Amino acid sequence: MSLTPSAPGSPACSPPADNDPDEIARWMSQGPEAADDELGSLSSLVGRSDPAPADTDGISLAYDAPATITGVRLTCLGEGTLEFTVHMDGTGSGSSRTVTDVPGGPDAHEESLSVTEVTEVRVTATGADRDGAWRAVVLGHEQG
């Protein structure tokens, strides 16, 4: 598995009102809660001045062998909401899912998916109204 940022600063959730860079760094370094069905996690710093992502932008995970994606767990630092798009490409055709109004805060939003033969997952997020960060945990299992 490899992590590939394809565009710097993909948008995401808002940090606390004081916009403390140390709090953002702590949140990013904590990492997600472990999950038995986790295939990997993605995260990014964001800001209100980030441009809208292009179709090929985002942070991606690539798999050596096809996987079945059963869901994605989305979290963001701070207040506000974000819109995430999860792109899944593989040996079959590609698929995308847009998840709107994901709230910031400690609770993750889990979106169920059912996509087979996936070799790459790419995530983008839009809607940040101040500097912050987001995280996506990809859930599923390797095929074969």
Mean pLDDT by 10 residues, the chain (144 residues): 44 53 89 88 85 83 95 90 93 87 90 95 89 93 85
What pLDDT is attached to residue 46? 80
| CATH number reported for the structural domain that contains residue 54 in this entry | 2.60.120
- If one counts the domains in the chain, the total is 1
CA 137 distance to own-chain centroid? 7
What pLDDT is attached to residue 12? 52
Q: Determine if the pTM surpasses 0.85.
A: no
What pLDDT is attached to residue 15? 43
What pLDDT is attached to residue 80? 82
Nearest to 62 by CA among 12, 123, 109: 123
Nearest to 77 by CA among 121, 128, 124: 128
- For residue 55, give every residue at least 6 positions away whose Cβ sits within 8 Å of its Cβ, in sequence order, or none: none
What pLDDT is attached to residue 10? 42
Domain containing 32: what range?
Answer: 2-142
